[in-house]
Amino acid sequence: MSDKPSTPPQETDRLFATERNPEDFRFDASVARVFPDMIRRSVPGYTTIIPMIEVITEQYAQSGSHCYDLGCSLGASTLAMRHGIGETDCSLTGVDNSAAMIERCQHYIALDDSPLPVQLRCEDILATPLENASVTTLNFTLQFVPLAERAGLLSRIATATRPGGVLILSEKIRFDSPRDQDVQTHLHHEFKRANGYSDLEISQKRSAIEQVLIPESLDEHRQRLLAAGFGQVVVWYQCFNFVSMLAIKTAA
């Protein structure tokens, strides 16, 4: 028998394919099992954003600093950061409060060929100590953090970030104009339909997730990032109602 770790079995996401009792969405073992398929078919742009996280990390990782992936799930964004850091003398930490995610993430990290060590922590990102950071990623995680906690978390990240360092923040967003909101929601649902989700799956997932995923507008994000201490906010990607921003800590 080989000592090489094997890929955890990956399944197609059929969690909402049959009629089920409404309950809030949770990142449990059943979600972790189908997660790569679920996020690829549900989040427009995800498969572009992941490799771009590597490109961005390559530009902003600073020697002797820490990099953090907050809400790392199975480590797709963590691995992109790991490859972006390359040979630089940086440390990399992935954090998720779902034990099922962290357990599987460990397998993916072990399978990857980069020599850079990755520390994985199973905890609430609100409790993660942050210091001397150059690149921090919140790739579709802040939207699950209670609204009242978001400003405090972003201030802690900004304070921990060195001048010239960045936060990569990807989020589902909402639009102030109801007409724009309708168009973007419709296009997002069509994206899901094109990826094989049925009307029942789309509507059941929507009901389950809307209590736990609270989107905010681009302007709310921008103003809060600036108030937190970032000097510049750049939207580097948008597809329908999914956006990724780069918040840059400029020199004081």
Interface ranges with ligand GEK (CB under 6 A): 27, 39, 71-73, 76-77, 95-98, 101, 124-126, 139-141, 144-145
Rounded-to-5 percentages of helix, strand, coil across the chain: 45, 20, 35
- Rounded Cα gap, residues 57 and 199, in angstroms: 38
Structure tokens at 219: 């302007």
User: By CB neighbour count within 10 A (0-12 exposed, 13-18 middle, 19+ buried), where does 144 fall?
Assistant: middle
- Is 76 or 85 the residue whose CB approaches ligand GEK more closely? 76
- Is 123 or 190 the residue whose CB approaches ligand GEK more closely? 123
β-pair type (232-239, 161-172): unpaired
Residue least distant from ligand GEK (Cβ): 71
Instruction: Work out how close the CB of 252 gets to ligand GEK at its nearest, in angstroms, rounded to a whole number.
Output: 29
- Is 76 or 158 the residue whose CB approaches ligand GEK more closely? 76
Instruction: Work out how close the CB of 118 gets to ligand GEK at its nearest, in angstroms, rounded to a whole number.
Output: 14
Instruction: Work out how close the CB of 76 gets to ligand GEK at its nearest, in angstroms, rounded to a whole number.
Output: 4
- Rounded Cα gap, residues 185 and 188, in angstroms: 5
Structure tokens at 155: 């201030």
Instruction: Work out how close the CB of 194 gets to ligand GEK at its nearest, in angstroms, rounded to a whole number.
Output: 18
- Is 34 or 235 the residue whose CB approaches ligand GEK more closely? 34
Instruction: Work out how close the CB of 143 gets to ligand GEK at its nearest, in angstroms, rounded to a whole number.
Output: 7
- Is 72 or 248 the residue whose CB approaches ligand GEK more closely? 72
- How many alpha carbons fall within 13 Å on the CB side of residue 53? 30
